[in-house]
């Protein structure tokens, strides 16, 4: 669920930005800055998701606390 904000507010605007003509400089600037800021603020969520995929056993339980991820069997 934490990755939803990265996808909705970071990646989707970049995809929309691809289809906006280059003549709309102000709109392009607003969208790319918004998208970059959204992705920058979700870096901890992305890091936690990657760590959960790589390090957690298949039958483990995950608990997040701030910047750290703990897992238990």
CB atoms within 10 A of CB 41: 13
pTM of the predicted model, to two decimals? 0.65
3-state class (DSSP) for residue 15: helix
Q: What is the pLDDT of residue 2?
A: 67
For the chain, which residues make up each domain, given as ranges?
A: 3-72
In percent, the amount of the chain with pLDDT more than 70 equals 96
How confident is the prediction for the chain on average, in pLDDT?
85
Can you give the length of the chain in residues? 73
Q: What is the pLDDT of residue 54?
A: 86
How big is the chain by its Cα radius of gyration, in Å?
A: 16
Segment 16-44 shows an average pLDDT of 91
| Distance (Å, whole) CA 46 – CA 73 | 23
For 38-68, the pLDDT digits (tens) are: 888 888 888 878 877 888 888 888 887 877 7
| Distance (Å, whole) CA 13 – CA 7 | 9
């Amino acid at each position: 669920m934490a990755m939803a904000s990265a996808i909705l507010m970071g990646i989707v605007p970049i995809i929309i930005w691809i289809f906006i003509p280059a003549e709309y400089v102000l709109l392009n600037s607003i969208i790319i800055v918004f998208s970059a800021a959204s992705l920058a603020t979700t870096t901890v969520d992305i890091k936690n998701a990657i760590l959960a995929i790589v390090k957690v056993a298949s039958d483990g339980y995950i608990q997040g606390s701030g910047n750290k991820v703990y897992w238990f069997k």
